[in-house]
Structure 1
Amino acid sequence: MEFGERVKAVRTGAGLTQEQFASRLGVTRQAVSNWENGRNLPDIEVVIAISQTFGVSLDELILGGEDMTRKTGEQNDMADKLIRDGSEGRWMRMSLTMSIVGAVLIVVAAVLAVVAEISVSYVDASGMLHEDFWLVPVSYACAAAGVLVVLANFVAQLRRRKRLTGSYGPLGR
């Protein structure tokens, strides 16, 4: 039994119309119709709400109940969606972290460049030059590292998009 059929069985078992079922879950009737007809799948929060509201175990709702083992070649659409969503969440967190690290490195580079520009260099009484010479190369290194991290993140996103969709997006066909 597909996920949509399980949702429909829960709804009809409770004696509810799609409209009433949707109202209890805080979604639209069209969303319920799409789930039942296999056109769309709900988010995990909604699946949990269905489980709690109608007293159905998550195993039964997601995996299909008593016989939860997959037959060869049989797909479990909801379980696959949950796996994809988890993978997507991890990917998004990693991508966000890379973007933040790159941005921080670029900001640090800019701050070091400004400090190098306004720092005072002088020659003391013994003829020794005093200056913060290390600021400029460290600034360049931070800028280069920041740009590399942001560029690596961009390339990784393009490769992931290519792997998932078969194209690099609207311009990359």
Structure 2
Amino acid sequence: MPKRMQDLPEEYLTHQRALARAIGERLRLRRTILDLTQEHLRARLELAHVYVSRTQYSRIENGDTLPSADQLIALRMILGVSFDWLLLGSEDSEKQLSKRG
């Protein structure tokens, strides 16, 4: 664990891990609905000038790390979802997602 993370409260770290897992699950769900491989999605990210290694993207989908702001913006556009759904999994956005899929 990086030194700067060692002094953070456990509740914060637990919340961050849970958020990363939830976002990763939603990314994987939407990617599979759109019938995209991780490699295809990474290629689309590169077209948006957002560069993510294969390992880094896998870590995001597995919930090991949170995506950065530029990655979230590009993923939202590529996957055709709202920030609410991507970050919070809101119900209204899930209804919209099933209509687009």
Q: Is this a same-fold pair by TM over 0.5?
A: yes
Question: Take 1:32 and 1:11, find their aligned partners in 2: how far apart are those partners?
Answer: 12
1:60 matched to 2:85? The reply is yes
Aligned residues: 68
Letter in 1 for 2:33: G
SS at match of 1:51: helix
Question: Take 1:53 and 1:67, find their aligned partners in 2: how far apart are those partners?
Answer: 19
Q: Specify which structure has the bigger relative contact order, considering alpha-carbon pairs within 8 angstroms and separated by 6 or more residues.
A: 2
* TM-score after normalising by structure 1: 0.36
Letter in 1 for 2:68: D
Provide the residue aligned with 2:72 in structure 1.
47
Provide the residue aligned with 1:19 in structure 2.
39
Letter in 2 for 1:9: L
Judging by fraction of residues, say which structure has more helix.
2
Give 5+ residue unaligned stretches, structure 2.
1-20, 47-51, 94-101
Give 5+ residue unaligned stretches, structure 1.
69-173
Please state how far the C-alpha of 1:30 moved relative to its aligned partner.
1.4
Larger Rg: 1 or 2?
Answer: 1
Letter in 1 for 2:57: V
Letter in 1 for 2:88: L
- Please, what is the CA RMSD of the aligned residues? 2.0
Letter in 1 for 2:38: Q
